[in-house]
Amino acid sequence: MDYKKVKAETTTITRDLRRFDKESGNIYQSLVVISRRANQITLEMKEELNNKLAEFASSTDNLEEIFENREQIEIAKFYEQLPKPSLIAVNEFLNGNIYSRIPEKEVK
């Protein structure tokens, strides 16, 4: 996922709770869906960041030899400025970009 193009807010805003239970009929189910999606986004972002920072990993474990790398600092700043995964998930949910299903309801 390209997080540069995400239109989610970078700060917390007040939201209308009635918009959250339209899809599922239950606000708690909606929050579970949002939290699971936020966890998925967190894992994606963490994996992407680790892959980018793996290039800068040194083979020695000497604490005295820590070097500041300008590229590494820029990567860290980029990820710090991204919207939080929970805000991205809320944005996706409210825009209808998340598909969820409850297996118990499908069996009946």
pTM of the model: 0.77
Q: How much is the mean pLDDT over the chain?
A: 82
Query: Is 86 or 55 the better-scoring residue by pLDDT?
Result: 86
Q: Mean pLDDT, to the nearest integer, of 56-79?
A: 72
What are residue 97's phi and psi, to 5 degrees? -90, 0
**40: pLDDT strictly greater than 90:** yes
**Of the spans 2-11, 29-38, 47-56, 59-68, which averages the highest pLDDT?**
29-38
pLDDT of residue 102: 75
Checking if the pLDDT of 59 tops 70, the result is no
Residue 108 or residue 43, greater confidence: 43
Mean pLDDT of 71-90: 88
Confidence check: pLDDT of 2 > 60: yes
**If you write DSSP's letter for every residue of 51-104 in order, what string do you get?**
HHHGGG--S---TT-----HHHHHHHHHHHHSPPHHHHHHHHHHTT------HH
